Amino acid sequence: MTTALDGRVYIVTGGSRGFGLAIAKDLVEHGGRVGLISRNTAGLDQAVAEIGTDHAFGVSGDVGHIDSIRSAFEAIKNHYGRLDGLVNNAGMAWPNPVENLVEQEVLAQVNTNFLGTVFCCQAAIPLLRGGDNPRIVNISSASAWHYDEISHLSIYAATKAAVERFTRDLRLEVQQDNIGVTCIRPGGAITDFAAQWNADGFKAALDAWHDYGTYMDMGMDVGHVGESVRYAVSQPPGVAVDLLEIRPNMRMPKVKFD
């Protein structure tokens, strides 16, 4: 284990699985400690057990509700006695053509992906202010700019584009507090992100995706996203990675869902 992040504490939202769990594991492997936040209590407990209770602490919370987040952030800082950074990773998508969008699914994506990022930044800033090289990393998505992932993700992509624009203003506002801000835009990697999607909706989105070409990019896994976050938070004081896009780069035929 290297010690580049020795003793530092980072909150990772959506930390029970997928990118969030990979990010948390990478930070811990390089000397950090993590506070994981998720609505999935069982998944949270499993993630903490995988990482180890000496290095991980889980708190159930909903990023779409500011009071829940403030309470969770305070609990994590009190547990470790410090806070050095926040990784806004929590996100969700519900693929659907624009004409068929369901109100509750639209609101859930906006509340989690965009408002959740805003609320978490609000809660984190006073806890990070005055710290030694504090960091905020907001996770966007290549879907905000590219058609590499499946179709019918208009709301998900729009919320991630909103995260990127919000991050630009955040970066300027917290410079006076010496808080470094980074936006990371990952491409697709194999996770269980789509595990709860409706099968018919998933198939329709994949079928429509083939209209944009025969091939897709592959070759990236969740560990690459973890490495990217570590790179961002490891920069010296006064230096910040502004925007980092990491995408798979191996051409393969697009998958089909029969």
Q: Which residues are catalytic?
A: 16, 140, 156, 160
Q: Which tokens hold the place of 234?
A: 């490891």
With contact defined as beta carbons under 8 Å apart, do 175 and 134 qualify?
A: no
| φ, ψ dihedrals at 123, nearest 5° | -70, -30
Helix (H) or strand (E) holding 162: helix 154-173
Q: Which tokens hold the place of 37?
A: 């936040």
Q: Which tokens hold the place of 99?
A: 């004409």
| Rounded Cα gap, residues 225 and 223, in angstroms | 5
| Rounded Cα gap, residues 162 and 167, in angstroms | 8
Q: Which tokens hold the place of 180?
A: 């470094």
| φ, ψ dihedrals at 197, nearest 5° | -70, 145
In the block, residue with structure tokens 């905020």:
136
Q: Which tokens hold the place of 19?
A: 């990118």
CA distances from residue 59 to 16, 39, 76 in whole angstroms, order as listed? 10, 9, 8
With contact defined as beta carbons under 8 Å apart, do 37 and 15 qualify?
A: yes
Work out the number of other CB atoms within 10 angstroms of the CB of residue 250.
9
